[in-house]
Structure 1
Amino acid sequence: MSLFRRRTSAAPPTPSERRVTLLSRPGCHLCDDAREVIVRVTGELGVSFEEVDITTDANLEEEYREQIPVTFVDGRQHDFWRVDERRLRAALA
């Protein structure tokens, strides 16, 4: 089962269909910084946001432990370690 939902339509997603996913873990200061940017941007743009704690899934922890925080936009990896606000806004435009 995939962590991310795939779009079946060829049309670009509307803001309400867009989704940002943050892979994080407790105690990660970079995750805290990334979350702050993502919450601000998604809130302003009306985009949905979810956060996934990689420590709850052995496969995610194995794959992403050295990259977190990892940001996905519409199921595609967008950034890791840091979230650039301008780049995130551009991806969601």
Structure 2
Amino acid sequence: MDVGGTWTSGDQEVSVRRITLIGKPGCHLCDDARAVIERVAREEGVEWEELNMLDDPELVARYAEQIPVTLVDGRQHDYWRVDENRLRKALSAPPRGA
């Protein structure tokens, strides 16, 4: 699952930071995580997306006991609860492989 990425614009490589929230409907911890992620993404100018794990059996198999799961640039960052300061720190660090 590739949710972050890098592309080339002329001679310059541009890295895209992205937060992904993996959860499911009716999950109160997912609601809490969504609120934190929406705020941090807006303030940091970072894109984010939400995936419903029930739409993908692979996500269910991998994350069923950990939701909500937060990915930063496609790599697992947190689960159960999102620590706002930790998320901001991860976003301010250089992307892996950059």
TM-score norm. by structure 2 comes to 0.81
Aligned equivalents of 2:90, 2:41: Cα separation in 1: 11
Structure 2 residues without counterparts, runs of 5 or longer: 93-98
Aligned equivalents of 2:40, 2:20: Cα separation in 1: 13
Aligned residues: 88
1:31 aligns with 2:33: no
Change beyond 3 A, Cα 1:43–1:5: closer
Q: What secondary structure is seen at the aligned counterpart in 1 of 2:59? A: helix
Quote the sequence identity (%): 56
1:20 aligns with 2:19: yes
Aligned equivalents of 2:67, 2:44: Cα separation in 1: 24
Change beyond 3 A, Cα 1:8–1:70: same
More strand as a share of residues: 2
User: Amino acid of the residue matched to residue 82 of structure 1?
Assistant: R
Residue aligning to 1:47: 46
Structure 1 residues 56-65 or 28-37, which shifts more? Answer: 56-65
Aligned equivalents of 1:80, 1:55: Cα separation in 2: 17
Equivalences for residues 38-77 of structure 1 within 5 A: 38-77=37-76
Structure 1 or 2, whichever has the larger Rg, is 2
Residue 7 (structure 1) shift: 4.0
Q: What secondary structure is seen at the aligned counterpart in 1 of 2:86? A: helix
Structure 1 residues without counterparts, runs of 5 or longer: none
The superposition leaves residues 3-31 of structure 1 with CA deviations (integer Å, 9 ceiling, x where unpaired) of: 5345478x783xxx100000000000000
Q: CA RMSD in A?
A: 1.8
TM-score norm. by structure 1 comes to 0.86
1:79 aligns with 2:78: yes
